[in-house]
Every structure is written in structure tokens, then in C-alpha cells.
Amino acid sequence: MFDVVVIGGGHAGTEAAAAAARRGARTALLSFDRHGLGAMSCNPAIGGLGKGHIVREVDAFDGLMGRAADQGAIHYRMLNRSKGTAVQGPRVQADRQRYAAAIQAMLAAQPNLAIVEGEAEALVLDGDHVAGVQLGDGTILPTRAVVLATGTFLGGRLFRGEERHLGGRIGERSATRMAEQLRSLGLPMARMKTGTPPRLNGRTIDWAKLDEQPSDTDPWTMSPMTAARPLPQIACAITRTTEETHAIIAAAFHRSPLFTGAIEANGPRYCPSIEDKIKRFADRNSHQIFLEPEGLDDPLVYPNGLSTSLPTDVQEAMIASMPGLERAVITLPGYAVEYDHIDPRALDGRLALGALTGVFCAGQINGTTGYEEAAGQGLIAGLNAAAYACDLSPVILDRASSYLGVMIDDLVLQGVTEPYRMLTARAEYRLSLRADNAETRLGGIAEAAGCLSPERLAHRRRRQEQQATLRERLGVVRTASDLARAGATIAQDGARRTAYEWLRFDGVTLAHVAPDAGQDCDAAMLAETLEDARYAPYVERQAEEVARLRADEQIVLSSKLDYAAIPGLSQEMIDRLSMARPATLAAASRIRGITPAALSAVLLYARKVAA
């Protein structure tokens, strides 16, 4: 008997299994192949804007992704380095094999976790509860909770020109029977599309012709638990599409399943196929292509920007038309994949299915895209599956706390029309949700959930002490003339402020107000505190908004409310409320098109029903 069975060994599944096990749940991770655990099926990069934030948040819960990324990283780049830290995104390129090896090693070392090879054929149900998972060979794994993290394997179909295959990744199977069962249970399901570019043999690329992009030299890491970067750092290269490339692609539009109608599902706008870019932006005559090495001792190169489902012969011609790639050999042609997902409005803030008790969902099955988005959902689904199975308190994050909270709130309230990707623009509290303060924001919640290792707890204590010391040192009062003497150019209005308050003014630096404050402090901790000071006025303004949000979060709405019976609601409101089943009045207010008067009507009705 297991507490939690996780189906799928990608970024969502591995993170879910590890999280459930960290909370003490007896956990099984079920996958076709144990050597495929932690595979990066698309680009060899982890992090970026919004995404890097999520990696740090997962890491604050002692998740796997940040530490594994450091173990595999062969190229570090802090995006938006010249802008405010709120929009700086840490990104690494990871050696594909070393990344997967790091994940597999962490899973092997995780107590309470068993890895089971096999195909999950069906959920075993007891009424509206899940009771187990049936494998392809007929074995049944009895369990209290299940996390579905099936990625693109649920009803997966691959497209390349005129070719069609069944599967979630090229050369692998697809979870057809599970897809059929979920549809037969009446869950709201739809299709999404994604794609991947051809892989090139790096030995056949003329690197000397191309511009290099070197790795960052300063030694930051994805996880603060990584003492130092273990691997040597290598450069990427940049090439461009040419007018010839565009002509080759345009001439083959009629052979792309995207345009022939073969693929009906929506793909992500922010990750378009090259043929889509060329069709939609016909006025552009060149696009940048990043050539990213897939590993230190692996010759494979990932041409970032060339996702395509054109036939192999067109892919070959198109590659040969780009500088440096004239003789490049395609090792594995690109393809598109169409797969089943669940309308995430069927889930609640724990990522639990409302209709099937004990079933949690994470990753592409919820209509998202991206490793980081998947890992984040895996973490939350795993923590909550363990909570459900072992009677612990759930972990529900709100929009003010984290990108994880923003993502889950967006998914379960608004649903998806294209694969959901995190963007910093989605976070209304962006100024306070920074990649560098994830531990400060979430450490307390993670500690309360009991999912931190002794090493992480010790690290957290050290941070808390340093933070307190720093804030105390910055409490020292300085006058405008003190600052002038220290060399700051500010108005001489005789004002007295604490060092912390002075730091919000343009042109005032730590050297002007408290030059020694940073002594014996971690550089990252110091940078975080300075950034807090700089944006404090904006964060304070948002704090009012947050307080109101959290007050309305206290008003709970039953998941069984009959919205159609509420007088005065329009049909559109009824549909949206019924699909999303908001857990609180605050959640209801965030659903698009719900007016204040409608909220009052909902509240009145809810009170009446409860009485």
C-alpha cells in the first residue's frame, strides 16, 4: 500500500514524487523507463524570465530542479542583468545526461520513495475515490492518492510533414488507454500542440564562422545549496536565418501539418514554429538562432528558434541555408506533438481534481508548457497529495506569495486557450516576487510543510540571522547633510531618515548611508535587502491590495454551489463560475467578467444555502 503513486517521470513527476516523499508519504514513482527519469525532452536550458523565478521557488521547498540544474550546468546567463532584480531571470544550459543523472541520484537517495517501471494503464476507482493504479501487466498498486504527470504522453500523436506516429516523444510510447479512461470519466479534456527543432551534429558545424555568447563569469548558482559550479563552462553560438531559408520554408507551407489542418490544437504563441514565424511576420527577413550544446561530451547541438514540423527534406535544406550550418548534419529531425490535457479549471488550488477524490494533476496535462512550470506544479501536487494521503495540512500559495501561486490561480480560475507559460507580466506583485528573495518569501511555508532537509534548515537559520542583522544596521538614522558629506547628490531639506529609507532615493547607495553594514554578510543577502529598500514604496502600496485580497480569501464558497440557481447572473457568468468552482469569494472576484454586484449575489446565495 502506497500513500502516493506518481505517474510520469518528467519534471512534474519527479518533483511531485520527491516532494511527497519529503513530507513522509510512502511514495511510488511510476515510469516507462527508469533511465528516462528527469529527461529534458526539448531545449537543454533551465530558467529564464519567470521560469528562473519558479526554479528558485521550487528550490526554496528543497525541490530538485535548481540543484540538478547546477549539477548539469555548462553555461550560466543572468537575463536582464542591467534591469531591476525583479525581472532578472537566472538561466542555465545543462548537459542533458548529467542533468538527468543528477535527478536520478537525488531520487535514489530519497527515503520513502520507490521507483516502479511500467505503464499505468488505468486508475482503480472506489466510487468517486481513487484506490490504486493498474499496470500494463495487470499488477495493481494500491494507493490513497495519485499524481498524474503524463506530459505529452496522454493520447500523444507526432507530426512531421506527411509522417504520423503515436507517442509522447519520438521513439517512445503513448499512454492511450489512460487517455481513454479519463475521457470516459467525463473529465473536461482538450488538445494542445507543441514542437521541437531538429538536433544537429556539432562536429559538422563551422563554429569559427559564428558569433560566440560566453557564459557569465561571476559565480552565481541556481540553488544556494550548490557551493560552486561543478562543471567547466562553455560558450553558445549565434547564427541567423537567411532570405534563402525563408524562401525554402515559404515554398513548403503546404507540407506543414500546421497549415494543412492536420494539427487543429493550439500551440504556444511564445514558442512558435519557424514556419509560423515566417508566415505571420512576413516582413522580417532574418531570425536569430542560438546554437546550444547539449552536453560536454555529447556532440548534439540544439538550434534554439527552429522548432518545426516540416518534412525532413525541407528541414535539411533549411539548415543548410544558414551561416555556419552549410554542412551541418541533422541527427534527429524536428517534429510537432499533439496531446490531451485536462481543463485545469477542474482542479482546485491544491491541483486536486474536484470530480475524482485523491487524484492530483501536474504539468502539461494541465495545459502548461515548460520544464519549470511542470516542476512547480509537480512540487505543489506532490506536497498536497501527501497532505491528502497522510492527513497533513495542504500547501496553497496565493498570488501575492509566489509565481507558483500566480500560475496555479491562473490555471484553476481562468483555464487555458494555449499552452500556459510563465511570464513576469502575469504577476501583479512582480516588484516583490523576485528570483533573489524566493527563500525569504516561501521559506516559512516550506518549513511549516515539513519538507526541508536538515542542511536546508541550517541554511535558512543562517539567512534569517543575517537578514535581521542587516535590517538592524540599516536602521541607523542619517541626515541629508550626513549624506552630502558622504558624497550623495540629494536635496538638502534637513530630512532625517534611516539608512534603509534613504536607499529608496535615486543616486543613494549603501556607501552613502551605511558603508559597513554589509560586513560578514552573504553578498546575495545584501543584494536582496538593498533591492527591498529600493522598491519599498511600491511594495507598500501593493501591500494594501494584498491585505484586501487576503481578507476576501477568508470567505469560503462551497464547491457544490449551483450557480445557475443564483438570480441575476448572466449565462456567461454562470458558465465561468461553474467551470472554475472558485474556493473563495476572492477567487470568484478574479474570474474574468464577474462584476461586484454578481459577487454580492453569489455571497447572498451561498449564505442562504449554508443556513
Partner 1 sequence: MADTIFAVSSGQPPAAIAVIRVSGPAAFGTAERLGGRLPEPRRASLRTLKDGAGAVLDSALILCFPGPATATGEDLVELHCHGGRAVVAAVENALAEQPGVRRAEPGEFTRRALLNGRIDLAEAEGLADLLEAQTERQRRAAIHAVEGRVSQAVRGWMDQLAALSAMIEAMLDFAEEDDVPLDGAAVTRIKSEMHALAIAMLEVVERPPVDRLHDGIRVVLAGPPNSGKSTLLNLLVEREAAIVSPIAGTTRDRIEASVLRGGVAYILTDTAGLAEDTADVIEAIGVTRAQEAILQADILVWMADTPPPRADAIWLHSRADLPGREELPEGRRLAVRRDDDASVAGVWGVIAETAAALLPREDAIGFKRHQQEQCRRAAHALLAAPGADILLMAEELRVARQALAEVLGVSATETMLDALFGRFCLGK
CB of 568 to partner 1, least distance (A): 3
- Cβ proximity to partner 1: between 132 and 324 the closer is 324
Annotated ligand binding at 184? The verdict is no
Sign of CA dihedral 202, 207, 212, 215: positive
Annotated ligand binding at 272? The verdict is yes
Annotated ligand binding at 13? The verdict is yes
Residue 202 and residue 330: Cα distance in Å, rounded? 10
| CA-based nearest residue to 9, from 28, 44, 27, 36 | 36
Residue 20 and residue 10: Cα distance in Å, rounded? 15
Annotated ligand binding at 277? The verdict is yes
| Contact of 363 with 378, CB cutoff 8 Å | yes
Longest dimension (CA), the chain: 80
Place of cell 542583522: 469
Residue 191 and residue 159: Cα distance in Å, rounded? 14
Annotated ligand binding at 8? The verdict is yes
CB of 152 to partner 1, least distance (A): 18
CB of 96 to partner 1, least distance (A): 17
Residue 208 and residue 277: Cα distance in Å, rounded? 28
- Cβ proximity to partner 1: between 423 and 526 the closer is 423
Report the chain's C-alpha Rg in angstroms. Answer: 25
Three cell numbers, residue 457: 534548515
Residue 239, beta-bridge partner list: 289
Annotated ligand binding at 278? The verdict is yes
Three cell numbers, residue 244: 534563402
**b/e sequence 345-374, b meaning 16+ C-beta within 10 Å:** bbbbbbbbbbebbbbbbbbbbbbbbbbbbb
Report how far Cα 80 is from the mean position of its chain's Cα atoms.
19
- Cβ proximity to partner 1: between 79 and 189 the closer is 79
Q: Which residues bind partner 1 (CB under 8 A)?
A: 43, 49-50, 79-80, 83-84, 86-87, 268-272, 277, 280-281, 284, 287-288, 290, 304-305, 307, 414, 423-426, 428, 430-431, 538, 544, 547-548, 551, 555, 567-570, 592-593, 595-601, 603-605, 607-608, 611
Residue 257 and residue 530: Cα distance in Å, rounded? 51
Annotated ligand binding at 273? The verdict is yes
| Contact of 336 with 195, CB cutoff 8 Å | yes
* Secondary structure class of 248 (helix, strand, coil): helix
- Cβ proximity to partner 1: between 220 and 538 the closer is 538
CB of 270 to partner 1, least distance (A): 4
Instruction: Say if strands 140-148 and 359-361 run parallel, antiparallel, or are unpaired.
Output: parallel
Sign of CA dihedral 576, 580, 585, 589: negative
Annotated ligand binding at 193? The verdict is no
Annotated ligand binding at 274? The verdict is yes
Our CA angle for 337, 343, 349, nearest 5°, is 120
Annotated ligand binding at 574? The verdict is no
CB of 430 to partner 1, least distance (A): 7
Helix or strand run (H / E) with residue 125: strand 120-126
Annotated ligand binding at 159? The verdict is no
Report how far Cα 219 is from the mean position of its chain's Cα atoms.
24
CB of 53 to partner 1, least distance (A): 11
- Cβ proximity to partner 1: between 76 and 360 the closer is 76
Residue 418 and residue 427: Cα distance in Å, rounded? 18
Residue 173 and residue 157: Cα distance in Å, rounded? 10
Helix or strand run (H / E) with residue 157: strand 157-160
| CA-based nearest residue to 335, from 237, 267, 420 | 267
CB of 258 to partner 1, least distance (A): 15
CB of 604 to partner 1, least distance (A): 5
Annotated ligand binding at 276? The verdict is yes
CB of 272 to partner 1, least distance (A): 6
CB of 75 to partner 1, least distance (A): 13
- Cβ proximity to partner 1: between 31 and 41 the closer is 41
Annotated ligand binding at 382? The verdict is no
- Cβ proximity to partner 1: between 268 and 443 the closer is 268
- Cβ proximity to partner 1: between 298 and 428 the closer is 428
- Cβ proximity to partner 1: between 80 and 393 the closer is 80
- Cβ proximity to partner 1: between 269 and 485 the closer is 269
Task: Please state the residue numbers annotated as binding site.
Answer: 8-13, 267-281
Task: Please state the residue numbers annotated as binding site for NAD(+).
Answer: 267-281
Task: Please state the residue numbers annotated as binding site for FAD.
Answer: 8-13
